[in-house]
Amino acid sequence: MVKSEPTSDIKRPKFIKPVKVLVVVAPYYKEIADDLVAGATAEISASGAEFEIVNVPGALEVPTAIGMASRLCDFDAYVALGCVIRGETSHYETVCNDSSKGLLMLGLQGLSIGNGILTVENINQAKERSDPKKLNKGAGAALAALSLLSLSLSWQEMSKDIGFKSSGST
């Protein structure tokens, strides 16, 4: 069993209706990506949800793929997975910042997204954060996406009768 990271009092959500999650993976570092996927899919399965996995060329393409899927498909939540390791150029900052901002923008539009794109200094840090026997960030990202979905669904059930009522209503 893959461990997820401790998340204070966040519990794994349970869903009444079927839930489908899209896991978008940038597998540039295959071993790391495979471990992140193992963590994410274990967490998704443990919640009773279904999932599909797609690969994209790199971390910059992850938000684009999620945006396209949100417009063209019927997924309830999204998990972004990948790994960016600092190199000798400023490309690291561009990839980290732009992929993160892209996911944030999609989240602010109402998508339930868990960001499991590792941004690390070296391969050892990546292995530590993706290890299925330790605190797997893929599992944490899946839990985040499912928690946001659960919150969104609970808010959809709340009444929108706020403000003024017409004189004909009681």
Q: Under 8 Å CB-to-CB from 74, ≥6 apart: which residues? A: 20
91 is catalytic: yes
Contact of 42 with 81, CB cutoff 8 Å: no
Terminal C-alpha separation, the chain: 54
Alpha-carbon distance of 57 to 2, in angstroms, equals: 26
Q: What gap in Å lies between CA 40 and CA 142, rounded to an integer? A: 5
Q: Which of 50, 54, 58, 91 is catalytic?
A: 91
The tokens of 139 are what? Answer: 């599992």
For the annotated catalytic residues, the residue numbers are: 91
